[in-house]
Chains A and B, each alone.
Chain A
Amino acid sequence: MLALRERAPAGTARHPVQGFPGTERLATPFLVYALLHLPGEAQDAWRAFWQANVLLWLLSIYLAYRLAALFFPDTCAPLFAAVLVALYPALTLTFNAIKQQTLGTTFLLLGIYLFEGGLLRAGIAFRIAALAAVLFLGQFADGAWVFLAAFIFLRAWWMPGREKWATILCLGAAVGLSGLWLAWLGRIYHLPSVTHALRFSFARTLEDSGAWLASWAAGAGSGGHSFLNFPGATFFSDYWPLICKGFLSIHTPLLVAAVAGLFLEPRSRMFTFIAVPMLFVGHSGNIITGWLFYYGYLSFPAAMMLIFAAAGVLGNLAARAQVLPRLAALAVLACACWSFTDLKKQAGIYYGEGPEYYRGRVEVHYGNEIGRVDY
């Protein structure tokens, strides 16, 4: 916040952006600093964090409602989407957070709304400029720009031919422009970055992955190479099964509804298909770090796709005249929401490892003190 509060030009600024990752989460202090401009808030930055989290939660609910209304014609689907996002523990669990890992997901919803609600029909030049500005801001929002760029790229394949290529072209140009914008600022402000701090190189990783593939194709095993920064075959044997297992163990009701939508609601299919690559994109940060861990919050972009798919099919059922489909829709909604209410499951969703890791009773004993703390 002190770096944002500076008024001096880059060369004479006293407070640099610090931390790891520093730049990739700068949207959080930006948001909190903006809130600190409100009258009476100057004395309590911690309260501003809480306010920012509540605002993000409300914004996510609103955006989910509006987005579902853009994709599904019935009146029920937006309500289902809003209810699912409101109760999904991604945001409610973290009202007191200062890290705001979920900012990327909220920004993804905002970006999709901007794209679908306005930029999709705008002229090419304006579309590129506006998209570049959105992606630029997304580079500070916990990977949001990657989530949004991936969504728009995948979404383009559901568009007619000419529109598809125009969208991909605009996206490519916008990604390039926003990247150059940040690179320029990064150079004059010496902004820290994750890839630099971890000495990660995309070129080296791709080269090593290529060598791994060549070695594997020749039947020589991994040949001492890594695939996507995971040594040997651990990407396939450990990493990807861990991600899928963690995701499936938590999002099963949503996934079942989304799969039913493949047959019942054609408009929901796009979201169901996109959910799989979005799961990969969401967890792609692990590829940079090489850490073998299921970070639950990295599944949120994929979960949002499932929420929209489920909302579409549930809305379709609820809008029917017969009582049975309506009851089925409400039952599935209740089942999905019930699965969100387990606090230990919420911990699993947010922190990772899966809910089972948190289900056991935990006792903490402190030295010779009488009594203990139970969780």
Chain B
Amino acid sequence: MAVLGGAYLLGINRNLLYLSMLLSTSVVLSVVLKRWWTLLLGLGACAYLAVAQANVDDLGVLYPAPRDIPGAENMWVARIGEGQTWSYRFTLGGVGTRGEGASAEGYLYIDGRGLSNLVVGVQGRTLPGSSYCSRKNGLDHLAIPLGTERAEGLVVTLRGLPGTNPRIFQGPEVHGFNVYSDAVWLEFTGNGIRAIYHAQRAAASSAPP
């Protein structure tokens, strides 16, 4: 305690938060360590930690998940611009015929914000996001049933209602050198298998007039 107090008074370390944690650690050690030499070693280590500074590398941006930050409305999301249409081409490759028994039931999932204003196209069908929108861990979550889809490929398009800018959550899946950045994915569940399909976003294009 004297060393910690001395470090503070002499201006070597005036970080009261850190010194408080070290003081608390010293008390714990003084109760745990019974032999004089172990106690001396433990308290000496605390004193050293109070006066010596270690190098701390920049570990990069380690933000917690967006759902953990209330109010972070514009973080980790990509905005679908006015008049833009984003498209994704999923390669399914016989999803409905895998395994035995009942066919796999599929869903299209989208995470983001403001998804009630999203217009989703699935194989040419136009679906309003507001009909499928729910909340999941602070984000908007769309779960659109696909039934027992048996096509080899499935095209999904996303655009916003006029005057709105829905945002898609950036939850990158990385495979090799390819990044699948948007939280737009398919899941087929059946026969004890859960098959997840990712696709890259095609270049945003202007919406037809």
Contact = CB atoms under 8 A, between A and B. Distances in A.
Interface of A: 1-10, 13, 17, 19-20, 26-27, 30, 33-34, 36-37, 41-46, 98, 110, 113-114, 117-119, 129-130, 133-134, 136-137, 140, 181, 185, 188-189, 191, 197-199, 291, 360-369, 373
B175 interface: yes
B27 A20 contact: no
B115 interface: no
Nearest to A33: B54
Contacts, number: 145
Residues of A contacting B: mostly: mixed
A184 B175 CA distance: 48
Given A2-B56, A7-B15, A98-B62, A37 B196 contact: no
A137 B64 contact: no
Contact of A6 (B18, B63, B193): B18
Contacts of B53: 5, 7
Contacts of B180: 366-367
B15 A363 contact: no
Contact of B18 (A4, A44, A181): A4
Q: Majority SS of interface residues in chain B?
A: mixed
21 contacts: A1-B56, A4-B21, A7-B12, A7-B15, A9-B15, A13-B15, A20-B64, A20-B70, A30-B21, A33-B54, A37-B54, A117-B32, A118-B31, A119-B31, A134-B28, A137-B21, A361-B193, A362-B195, A365-B93, A367-B199, A369-B178
A170 B13 CA distance: 32
B27 A362 contact: no
Interface residues of B, number: 51
A366 B175 contact: yes
B175 A4 contact: no
B48 A369 contact: no
A137 B198 contact: no
B101 to A, nearest CB: 14
B69 A365 contact: no
Contact of A133 (B23, B57, B62, B89): B23
Contacts of A185: 16-17, 20
Most buried by B among A8, A27, A137, A366: A366
B183 to A, nearest CB: 14
